[in-house]
């Protein structure tokens, strides 16, 4: 169903069970195929290809030449009806690619809200991305990657399959991640190593000096006290009794399957 207030350019090609919400603009030579739902007040710039099953929320701006909801590049993928879900208020710049999930994974690739994907970012199958993230040009996420809220990826950075990056982490340009990056941590290099906490970002987002100092002490426990992960978790659990900001670190370390950057 196409809302009467939506503006669809005559050169756009729409086939299948497509829903276009109120006030959405679909520009020249866009192709939309399959079970695709586009919310309200979105803008789809020229020459984009959207394939379903894909659900796109409200007020998303998808720039020209993007491929959204295509089947993934996993060799096990046999065109099963897996999905892509995108939240609200995202900006997806030119040449970005976002693939649907696999039945071996979540069967769903999920992108949150208020994210910025700069030119040529790739989001592979079964990724889960939080809210308020920034991915600079050519950042690449392999399959099954999980990204927390307020994460920043520098240009040309990449992360290995099944990698995880915690909330408020900062990944430097051209970093190559083969291990998990805990919340609040800055990582850089090939392969990436930890380089302190994202102090500037935390203060910009309203963390207090007391909280930032607590996070810095937690970083010392993990990286400078020669602790095993188990020993670090035990000490951080004690710190978390009085500082809620330490709780995400504890939970992340407990769930890390690949190990963390060092």
Q: Are residues 236 and 136 in the same domain?
A: no
Say if 162 falls within a structural domain: no
Query: What's the total number of domains in the chain?
Result: 2
Residue 90: is the preceding peptide bond cis (ω within 30°)?
A: no
Q: Are residues 134 and 207 in the same domain?
A: no
Say if 159 falls within a structural domain: no
Q: What per-residue confidence (pLDDT) applies to 231?
A: 97
Q: Are residues 140 and 20 in the same domain?
A: yes
Say if 17 falls within a structural domain: yes
Q: Are residues 216 and 120 in the same domain?
A: no
Q: Are residues 139 and 211 in the same domain?
A: no
- Which residues are tagged catalytic? 125-126, 143
**Closest residue by Cα to residue 67 from 37, 88, 90, 47:** 47
Given a cut of 70, the residues of the chain with pLDDT beneath it are none
Say if 29 falls within a structural domain: yes
Q: What per-residue confidence (pLDDT) applies to 16?
A: 81
Q: What per-residue confidence (pLDDT) applies to 73?
A: 97
- d(CA 112, CA 35) in angstroms, rounded, equals 20
**Closest residue by Cα to residue 72 from 63, 84, 64, 62:** 84
Domain boundary among 102, 122, 144: 144
CATH number of the CATH domain containing 214: 1.20.1180.10
Q: Are residues 138 and 210 in the same domain?
A: no
What confidence tens digit (pLDDT) does each residue in 186-236 have? 999 999 999 999 999 999 999 999 999 999 999 999 999 999 999 999 999
Q: Are residues 114 and 206 in the same domain?
A: no
Model-level pTM?
0.97
What confidence tens digit (pLDDT) does each residue in 101-114 have? 999 999 999 999 99
Write the burial class of residue 35 (CB in 10 Å: 0-12 exposed, 13-18 middle, 19+ buried): middle
CATH number of the CATH domain containing 15: 2.160.10.10
Q: Give the C-alpha distances (Å, rounded to integers) separating 164 from 128, 184, 230.
A: 10, 13, 19
Domain boundary among 127, 144, 161: 144
Say if 26 falls within a structural domain: yes
Domain boundary among 144, 169, 192: 144
What are 164's strand-pairing partners? Answer: 146
Say if 236 falls within a structural domain: yes
Q: Are residues 136 and 17 in the same domain?
A: yes
Say if 89 falls within a structural domain: yes
Domain span including residue 243: 202-255
Q: Are residues 56 and 140 in the same domain?
A: yes
Q: Are residues 136 and 210 in the same domain?
A: no
């Amino acid at each position: 169903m196409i809302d009467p207030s939506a503006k669809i350019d005559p050169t756009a090609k729409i086939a299948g069970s497509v829903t276009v919400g109120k006030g959405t603009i679909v520009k020249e030579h866009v192709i939309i195929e399959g079970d695709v739902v586009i919310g309200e007040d979105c803008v789809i710039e020229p020459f984009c290809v959207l394939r379903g099953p894909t659900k796109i929320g409200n007020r998303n701006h998808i720039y020209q030449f993007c491929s959204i909801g295509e089947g993934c590049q996993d060799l096990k993928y046999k065109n099963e009806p897996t999905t892509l879900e995108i939240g609200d208020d995202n900006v997806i710049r030119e040449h970005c690619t976002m693939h649907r999930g696999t039945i071996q994974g979540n069967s769903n690739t999920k992108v949150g809200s208020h994210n910025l994907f700069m030119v040529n970012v790739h989001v592979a199958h079964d990724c889960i991305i939080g809210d308020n993230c920034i991915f600079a040009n050519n950042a690449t996420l392999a399959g099954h990657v999980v990204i927390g809220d307020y994460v920043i990826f520098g240009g040309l950075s990449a992360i290995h399959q099944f990698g995880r990056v915690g909330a408020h982490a900062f990944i430097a340009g051209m970093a190559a991640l083969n291990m998990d990056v805990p919340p609040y941590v800055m990582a850089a290099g090939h392969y990436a190593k930890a380089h302190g906490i994202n102090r500037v970002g935390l203060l910009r987002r309203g963390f207090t000096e007391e909280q930032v100092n607590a996070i810095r002490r937690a970083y010392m426990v993990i990286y400078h006290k020669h602790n095993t992960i188990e020993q670090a978790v035990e000490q951080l659990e004690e710190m978390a009794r009085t500082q809620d900001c330490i709780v995400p670190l504890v939970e992340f370390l407990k769930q890390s399957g690949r190990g963390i950057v060092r």
